[in-house]
Amino acid sequence: MTNFEKFLDKNSVFKNISVLSPHYIPKILPYREKQIEEIMSYIAPTLKNQKSRNILIYGKTGTGKTCSVKKIMEEFEKIQSNARMHYLNCRVYNSKYRVLQKVMKDYWPELEKAGFGLPFIYEKLLETLKQQRYLIVVLDEIDMVKDLDDLIYTLTRANDESGTGGLSIMGISNKLSFKENLDPRSKSSLNEVEIVFQPYTTEQLQKILEQRVEEGFQHNAVKQSAVNLAAALTAQENGDARYALKLLMRAGEIADEKKKNFVDDSDVEEARKRVETDIIAETINTLPEMHKITLHAIAKLSLNGSKYARLDGMAEGFLMSGEVYEEYERCCRQLRKKPRSLRWYKEYLNDLEMLGLVITTPSSKGIRGQTTLIKLGHEPEIVYKITNTSFFC
């Protein structure tokens, strides 16, 4: 046996583990046929050189919004036409400028170079539409765009100004409430059609998992009771299919580690802790540096407890905004980074709250004037470990 053979020879419950990855899109998406049909019917006119309406798709995380839209795009691209769908994840393309530049680059490669002003890019957009093109701009996680009102206004105006050609927006959001912060005008333009994705029920999750078990695991390697448990735990948690799939994948890995040739309930139980950590780590790892440092400061203080914990009106587990800022400055210095001003720090807190990583609440009037109280959205140990690894190891 060479040294390599012991790895190759390994028995595994998996047949093809990539089927369990978040990037894998299965051939059929059960329970989303209706939504997919509906969305297709709204955008189909663009394939016949007609304008289409703006669509807003929303529903909690893991309800299949992104994969449904990707599925639709696959079908859309099969048809020869003047229409095109542009998919953008707004965590990356989080401003009007970035969105416009990214979309227009596909038509005008010279825009690849930075430094073109918005008016120039806008002119290019109008020119593109004049060539009788139909653009559907898919803005996934649209709530992450900083100047969203401005972006919606600009895109809508371009559509209105173009005699021929058209541009429609397909916004996707995990946050049901994000519309409330929009200006009424952009709200009504974005919301011409609204499609809601409901969380999956236990039975639906069971079916979704069974489909992956079939494709991803060895024959009979996953006990039915383990699938049922993973589905039930997920439904009870949040109905997030991503969570269910991770649970199943981690359970498979645990079975492999234990050299078992099947996955049962105990492996799913054990997988829970790892999955929680995985999910938090994924969110944290995509954060920009200053956000990470802010979060690290909050985790560190949470572990030690607030200096003001004994003050009247301080709720359990909360920290004061001021002490967090001081800790943030200390962490920055330790990392030899220049701390940003309070204004920026508030911005970071806001973004962290949007992602569910922290919870903030205004303090009661009594506490040192009025301040903001901050608490971690997850266990401090887990968050500390993740942020610490990304900076200090």
Binding-site ranges for ligand ADP (CB under 6 A): 22, 25-26, 29-32, 59, 61-67, 174, 208, 241-242, 245
- Least distance from C-beta 274 to ligand ADP, angstroms? 17
Residue 32 interacts, among ligand ADP, Mg ion, none and using kind-specific CB cut-offs from 5 to 8 Å, with: ligand ADP
Residue 362 is inside which H or E element, if any?
Answer: strand 358-362
Name the residue with tokens 């893991």: 62
Residue 52 or residue 66: which is nearer to Mg ion going by CB? 66
Closer CB to Mg ion, 86 or 124, in the complex: 86
Determine how many CB atoms are found less than 10 A away from the CB of residue 236. 9
> In angstroms, rounded to a whole number, what is the distance separating the alpha carbons of residues 51 and 165?
7
Site stretch for Mg ion (CB under 5 A), options 59-67, 229-237, 329-337, 368-376:
59-67
| Closer residue to ligand ADP in complex, CB, 53/207 | 207
Q: Is the CB of 64 or the CB of 339 nearer to ligand ADP? A: 64
- 283 within 8 A of 88, measured Cβ to Cβ: no
Cβ distance to Mg ion smaller for residue 60 or 330: 60
* Residue 59 bridge partners (DSSP): 197
For residue 230, the minimal CB distance to Mg ion (Å) is 20
Stretch in the footprint of Mg ion (CB under 5 A) among 3-11, 60-68, 219-227, 354-362: 60-68
- The Cα–Cα gap between 175 and 148 comes to 14
Please give the helix or strand (H or E) that residue 205 lies within, else none. Answer: helix 202-216
Structure tokens at 356: 């569910």
Say how many Å lie between the first and final Cα of the chain, rounded.
Answer: 36
Task: Residue 380: name its binding partner from ligand ADP, Mg ion, none (Cβ under 5 to 8 Å by kind).
Answer: none
Q: At its nearest, how many Å lie between ligand ADP and the CB of residue 355?
A: 13
Instruction: Give the nearer residue to ligand ADP in terms of CB position, either 22 or 377.
Output: 22
Of the pair 250, 300, the CB lying nearest ligand ADP is at 250
CA distances from 253 to 128, 224, 248, 292, 306 (A): 50, 17, 9, 29, 39
Among the listed ranges 63-71, 105-113, 223-231, 310-318, the one in contact with Mg ion (CB under 5 A) is: 63-71
**Candidate residues 52, 54, 66, 159; the one interacting with Mg ion per rule CB under 5 A:** 66
Q: Could you tell me which stretch among 11-19, 64-72, 101-109, 334-342 binds Mg ion (CB under 5 A)?
A: 64-72
What are the angstrom distances between the C-alpha of 3 and each of 122, 256, 344? 60, 20, 53
Question: Measured between alpha carbons, how far is 6 from 197 in angstroms, rounded to an integer?
Answer: 46
Q: For Mg ion, which is the closer residue by CB, 253 or 351?
A: 351
Specify the DSSP element, H or E, that contains 366. Answer: none
Helical residues (DSSP H) of 78-117, grouped into ranges: 96-105
> 67 contacts which partner out of ligand ADP, Mg ion, none, CB within 5 to 8 A by kind?
ligand ADP
Please report whether residue 154 would count as binding Mg ion according to CB under 5 A: no
Cβ neighbours around 79 below 10 Å, total: 9
In angstroms, give the least distance from the CB of 241 to ligand ADP: 3
Least CB distance to ligand ADP at residue 19 (A):
10
User: Which amino acid is it at 315?
Assistant: A
From the list ligand ADP, Mg ion, none, which binds 357 (C-beta under 5 to 8 Å, kind-based)?
none
What gap in Å lies between CA 42 and CA 83, rounded to an integer?
13
For the chain, what percentages of helix, strand and coil (3-state, to nearest 5) are there? Answer: 55, 10, 35
Structure tokens at 288: 């920009």
Residues that bind Mg ion (CB under 5 A): 66
